[in-house]
A and B are shown apart, each in its own frame.
Chain A
Amino acid sequence: MSRAQATPPSPRVAGACFHCGEPCPDGAFTADGKIFCCFGCQTVFSLLTENGLGQFYDLNSVPGVRIRESARQARWAFLDDPAIQEKLLDFADAQQARVTLHLPAIHCVACVWLLENLFKLHPGIGHSRVNFTRREAAITFAPRQIKFSELAALLASIGYEPALTLDGLEKAKPSFLRRRQWLQVGLAGFAFGNIMLMSLPGYFGLDSVNGPWFKVLTGWVSLALALPVVVYSASDFWRTAWVSLRRRVLTLDVPIALGLAAIYSQSAFEVISGRGPGYCDSLTGLIFFLLCGRVFQQKTHERLVFDRDYKGFFPLSVVRKTASGETTVGISCLQTGDHLVLRNGELLPADAKLVGGEACMDYSFVSGESEPVTRPAGSHLYAGGRQVGGAIEVEIIKPVAQSYLASLWNNEAFRKPRDHDLDSLTNRYSRRFTFLIVGLALAAAAFWLFHDASRALKAFTSVLIVACPCALALAAPLTHGTAQRLLTRLNIFLKNALVIERLAGVDTIVLDKTGTLTCADAGGVSFQSAEGGKLHAELSVDETQWIASLVRHSTHPNSVRLANTLGTGSLPVSGFQETPGCGIEGTVAGHKILAGSCSWLEQRGVVFAGKHAGATSVAGALDGAFRGAFTLTNTLRPEVEHLLAQLGDHYELALLSGDNEREAARFEKIFGGRATLQFNQSPADKLNFIRKLQASGRRVMMVGDGLNDAGALKQADVGVAVVESIGVFSPASDVILDAAELPRLARVLRFSKSAARVVRAGFVISALYNIVGVSIAAAGLLSPVVCAILMPLSSATMVVFTCGLTAWLGRELQVKRSKVEGAARHALQPATSNLQLITKEAA
């Protein structure tokens, strides 16, 4: 179960929007004596209160989600396409339909309540049920009264926009497997308890008080109760043991299955022949403990998707332009030759040719290059680019499935299933173990054959019974499960518990630059005044406000960053004009201001006193005269330098970047010259780089953030995806790491090594138990009582030892973390104050 937490209620702040809690600008919207930041929030408030849903605001002080986009019904029109409905709806007939929608905006108790009272907003909506952990709502509605598209639009209008992606269409429901697992454990526990109850008199020799028939009765009942456990609960052990035998590999399941078979047949033989009560108590207990270990290990993060292919990156619908106008269509209906309209911020789903408008494509998703590129009409655009600026019209030249992006997934790295399981510590150990046990059992049988032939068979099965590697099988799952749980608490999510072991084996770390080491959106901004300018070197307060007012109107990433740094500017702008990919202009407070690339300013007749080149810069001109340039640099995430220093001591490091070499010198300094730095890397280059490292015998961990490293993440022994917010989006990977936790990576790696050591120590303990047990068994002295004590004891020791030690090591991890944070903050002090200096300059 995922530890997804509801956001704690935050106190209502004066001057904050009643609905979403964001600060309200002057002239805010008011209704019912409450203030709202925007018209959207006010509309939702009115809608909810009018429909008797005012309790929404009592459950959480600021429950709402800010409405970022005005609800456009047409956006959802594609949902009425029967082909798409068939894939999305769980169930549909003429009367009613049911759909399960992923609503990422769900975050608190009030959300759950509101969505489950959705029927009050529209008569066509029936029952709705929220699964908070998965951020899903299952909604029943009457298609005759409310169309699917209207339902989606309604949800979007109150702030819960459904997240519909292409891979969501092909999702499989995984719940059946988990139910089966619960049933198996439950059945084994039931049988274990009841058989124990009946065997207990036997342990104290009380079973003959009632006469000899009592022994026979309990024996038969135990045998009957154990049968479903052996057949159903233990079915996974039989199957995997059989599979691994056929593939001629010895996994740990082989000796387990061997032991289980030996115990049950020995018990059946004893009960049927009336020789004794058998070992059904130990058998069911064993299966119960083993299954508990498995359940413990198989923790799943329901909110996170670890196996996502390119389809997860694409929107479900696009705007297609035909002779009759624009329609929204599902992406799977797109064909070569279709004309699409792409608006600001929309993703191009297929390779296309630019027909109309000027494209300014942000390929950071695909290539890692953070600068948007401008393309003239007629040029070829690759899928995965995001349009920045005005709307463009493109013609599809390749279907979605054959585009540049999709071809990445045709690489064999994505096709081969990972079989690291076979390579795990446990299985490597079990290979030797199995031979040893079978050898010992045969030796014991041979010994007794010459001395006392009647005990030979019993000695043989006894060795197999006692050696059944229950404790051994528990060591790794318990350690890994505990470790995984601890990491989850730190917002570090592992795909499965085995990843811990692979983390411990890593010797080379490859890092991506943009979005991983640096923040994708935030960055430092510094202003450099024009050389020899008549004006003073720094921008005045007025000038800053003018520029801030201007750049607020553009959605270009550079404008957004400038606007964020320069602060609020709310002066009216007249004659605003944006030349996509080049620059913006407008008149503020009577001054004509231009901001954009140097070449564009030159075109507009601005004369430069000196050239500004190199890093990303935005040049500005005031009333026709060049005023200066803003230099935008990517800021490193906090503590990255400290992290790299830590990692560099123990691991080989490499940096791969899709960006050009403009920041090469800076990163060479940060890495201290110990790492391989590669720039201009395409996604395929990155993948090949990893493969080459692996070919030279290295175990590689790749740390990346997006589509452009998707191949490398998949190819690497451990792929770590760094994400800004958990649960929203992540590429296929083994570990999903909250970007804020990146500094902890070195600790996590060290912790994984400790965990591997705990597993090894667990093996030693189980080996000791086995030596004691096998010596008793080989002597032919194994009785049900000894067995019933030895087996639970060894399992219990293992639980206490592994869980306890791992948790203790994990506590160490957290304590050390806070110390490190303090130290790192101290070390980074000069850098931070520098940044403040820059901001001060700009202000």
Chain B
Amino acid sequence: MSVIIILILASLTVALTFLSGFIWATKSGQYEDTQTPAMRILADEPADRLSISKKESSQQ
């Protein structure tokens, strides 16, 4: 009955993927501010995230 071993391995792989997803989300600071993103979405156009270097080149 080695199929149960494959199943256990598969379930563990899936679970570990979710765990690493959770660790990534925490480390990238997604749980630090849970309120502002909810407000940000209310604005029609998303803030245009121009980097400074791009702007400098566009000015020249």
From residue A223, how far is it (CB to closest CB) to chain B in Å? 14
Q: Are A179 and B26 in contact (CB under 8 A)?
A: yes
The one of B1, B15, B59 in contact with A123, judged by C-beta atoms closer than 8 angstroms, is B59
Residue of B nearest to A183 (CB): B26
From residue B28, how far is it (CB to closest CB) to chain A in Å? 10
Whether, in the assembled complex, A194 has its beta carbon less than 8 Å from a beta carbon of chain B, the answer is yes
How distant is the Cα of A123 from the Cα of B39 in the complex, in angstroms?
Answer: 25
Known: A4-B35, A175-B29, A179-B26. A55 touches B43 (CB 8 A): yes
20 A-B pairs besides A116-B40, A133-B35, A214-B4 with CB distance below 8 A are A55-B44, A55-B45, A59-B42, A95-B52, A109-B43, A112-B36, A113-B42, A117-B47, A119-B50, A127-B51, A131-B36, A133-B33, A133-B34, A140-B52, A141-B52, A179-B26, A179-B29, A183-B26, A186-B22, A187-B19
Query: Closest 6 A-B residue pairs measured CB to CB?
Result: A126-B52, A116-B47, A132-B36, A113-B43, A210-B1, A109-B39
> What would be 27 A-B contacts, judged by CB atoms less than 8 Å apart?
A55-B44, A59-B42, A95-B52, A109-B39, A112-B43, A113-B47, A117-B48, A119-B50, A124-B52, A127-B49, A130-B36, A131-B33, A132-B33, A133-B33, A134-B33, A141-B52, A179-B26, A179-B27, A182-B26, A183-B23, A183-B26, A186-B26, A190-B19, A193-B15, A210-B1, A214-B1, A221-B8
Residues of B within 8 A of A141 (CB): 52
Q: Are A95 and B53 in contact (CB under 8 A)?
A: yes
Mask: chain B, 7-23; 1 = CB below 8 Å from A; 0 = not: 01001100100110011
How distant is the Cα of A138 from the Cα of B55 in the complex, in angstroms?
Answer: 19
How distant is the Cα of A221 from the Cα of B36 in the complex, in angstroms?
Answer: 41
Whether, in the assembled complex, B6 has its beta carbon less than 8 Å from a beta carbon of chain A, the answer is no
How distant is the Cα of A109 from the Cα of B47 in the complex, in angstroms?
Answer: 13
Q: Are B26 and A123 in contact (CB under 8 A)?
A: no
Whether, in the assembled complex, A217 has its beta carbon less than 8 Å from a beta carbon of chain B, the answer is yes
Whether, in the assembled complex, A96 has its beta carbon less than 8 Å from a beta carbon of chain B, the answer is yes
Summed over the interface, the residue pairs from A and B with CB atoms below 8 Å come to a total of 96
Residues of B within 8 A of A765 (CB): none
Residues of B within 8 A of A95 (CB): 52-53
Residues of B within 8 A of A55 (CB): 43-45
Residues of B within 8 A of A217 (CB): 5, 8
From residue A149, how far is it (CB to closest CB) to chain B in Å? 18
Chain B interface residues toward A at CB < 8 A: 1, 4-5, 8, 11-12, 15, 18-19, 22-23, 26-27, 29, 31-36, 39-40, 42-45, 47-53, 55-56, 59
How distant is the Cα of A124 from the Cα of B42 in the complex, in angstroms?
Answer: 26
Whether, in the assembled complex, A1 has its beta carbon less than 8 Å from a beta carbon of chain B, the answer is yes
How distant is the Cα of A240 from the Cα of B53 in the complex, in angstroms?
Answer: 49
How distant is the Cα of A183 from the Cα of B15 in the complex, in angstroms?
Answer: 15
How distant is the Cα of A211 from the Cα of B1 in the complex, in angstroms?
Answer: 9
Residues of A within 8 A of B12 (CB): 194, 221
Residues of A within 8 A of B48 (CB): 117, 119-120
Residues of B within 8 A of A140 (CB): 52
The one of A127, A133, A187 in contact with B36, judged by C-beta atoms closer than 8 angstroms, is A133
How distant is the Cα of A133 from the Cα of B45 in the complex, in angstroms?
Answer: 22
Residues of A within 8 A of B11 (CB): 194, 197
Residue of A nearest to B44 (CB): A55
Residue of A nearest to B33 (CB): A131
Q: Are A142 and B42 in contact (CB under 8 A)?
A: no
Whether, in the assembled complex, A198 has its beta carbon less than 8 Å from a beta carbon of chain B, the answer is yes
Residues of A within 8 A of B27 (CB): 179
How distant is the Cα of A426 from the Cα of B12 in the complex, in angstroms?
Answer: 38
How distant is the Cα of A96 from the Cα of B55 in the complex, in angstroms?
Answer: 12
The one of B23, B34, B40 in contact with A1, judged by C-beta atoms closer than 8 angstroms, is B34
Residues of B within 8 A of A116 (CB): 40, 47
Q: Are A6 and B39 in contact (CB under 8 A)?
A: yes
Q: Are B51 and A132 in contact (CB under 8 A)?
A: no
Q: Are B56 and A142 in contact (CB under 8 A)?
A: yes
Residues of A within 8 A of B44 (CB): 55
From residue A96, how far is it (CB to closest CB) to chain B in Å? 5
How distant is the Cα of A130 from the Cα of B40 in the complex, in angstroms?
Answer: 9
Whether, in the assembled complex, A840 has its beta carbon less than 8 Å from a beta carbon of chain B, the answer is no
Q: Are B15 and A194 in contact (CB under 8 A)?
A: yes
How distant is the Cα of A211 from the Cα of B3 in the complex, in angstroms?
Answer: 13
Whether, in the assembled complex, A275 has its beta carbon less than 8 Å from a beta carbon of chain B, the answer is no
Known: A127-B49, A140-B52. A132 touches B39 (CB 8 A): yes
Residue of B nearest to A179 (CB): B26
How distant is the Cα of A131 from the Cα of B34 in the complex, in angstroms?
Answer: 9
Residues of A within 8 A of B32 (CB): 131, 175, 178-179
The one of B5, B34, B52, B59 in contact with A96, judged by C-beta atoms closer than 8 angstroms, is B52
Residues of A within 8 A of B39 (CB): 6, 109, 112, 132
The one of A126, A175, A182 in contact with B55, judged by C-beta atoms closer than 8 angstroms, is A126
Residues of B within 8 A of A132 (CB): 33, 35-36, 39
Residues of A within 8 A of B49 (CB): 127
Residues of B within 8 A of A59 (CB): 42-43
From residue A158, how far is it (CB to closest CB) to chain B in Å? 16
How distant is the Cα of A141 from the Cα of B43 in the complex, in angstroms?
Answer: 23
Residue of A nearest to B50 (CB): A119
Which parts of A183-219 form the interface with B (CB within 8 Å)? Answer: 183, 186-187, 190, 193-194, 197-198, 210-211, 214, 217
Residue of B nearest to A130 (CB): B36
Residues of B within 8 A of A113 (CB): 40, 42-43, 47
Residues of B within 8 A of A197 (CB): 11
Residues of B within 8 A of A145 (CB): 56
How distant is the Cα of A134 from the Cα of B45 in the complex, in angstroms?
Answer: 24
From residue B4, how far is it (CB to closest CB) to chain A in Å? 6
Which parts of A2-26 form the interface with B (CB within 8 Å)? Answer: 4, 6
Residue of A nearest to B1 (CB): A210
Of B23, B35, B45, B56, chain A has the most CB atoms within 10 Å of the CB of B35
The one of B23, B34, B40, B42 in contact with A186, judged by C-beta atoms closer than 8 angstroms, is B23
How distant is the Cα of A4 from the Cα of B32 in the complex, in angstroms?
Answer: 14
Residues of A within 8 A of B26 (CB): 179, 182-183, 186
From residue B5, how far is it (CB to closest CB) to chain A in Å? 7
Residues of B within 8 A of A134 (CB): 33
From residue A235, how far is it (CB to closest CB) to chain B in Å? 16
Q: Are B50 and A210 in contact (CB under 8 A)?
A: no
Residue of A nearest to B59 (CB): A123
How distant is the Cα of A182 from the Cα of B24 in the complex, in angstroms?
Answer: 12
How distant is the Cα of A178 from the Cα of B33 in the complex, in angstroms?
Answer: 12
Q: Are A210 and B33 in contact (CB under 8 A)?
A: no
Which parts of A122-163 form the interface with B (CB within 8 Å)? Answer: 123-124, 126-127, 130-134, 140-142, 145
How distant is the Cα of A145 from the Cα of B22 in the complex, in angstroms?
Answer: 40
How distant is the Cα of A187 from the Cα of B26 in the complex, in angstroms?
Answer: 12
Known: A1-B35, A112-B40, A190-B19. A123 touches B47 (CB 8 A): no
From residue A350, how far is it (CB to closest CB) to chain B in Å? 37
From residue A93, how far is it (CB to closest CB) to chain B in Å? 11
Residue of B nearest to A194 (CB): B15
Residues of B within 8 A of A193 (CB): 15
Residue of B nearest to A214 (CB): B4
Residue of A nearest to B31 (CB): A182
How distant is the Cα of A478 from the Cα of B2 in the complex, in angstroms?
Answer: 45
Q: Are B53 and A210 in contact (CB under 8 A)?
A: no
Residues of A within 8 A of B56 (CB): 142, 145
Residues of A within 8 A of B50 (CB): 119, 126-127
Mask: chain A, 88-122; 1 = CB below 8 Å from B; 0 = not: 00000001100000000000010011001101100
Residue of B nearest to A112 (CB): B39
How distant is the Cα of A117 from the Cα of B32 in the complex, in angstroms?
Answer: 22
Residues of B within 8 A of A142 (CB): 52, 56
Residues of A within 8 A of B43 (CB): 55, 59, 109, 112-113
Residue of B nearest to A123 (CB): B55
Q: Are B42 and A109 in contact (CB under 8 A)?
A: yes
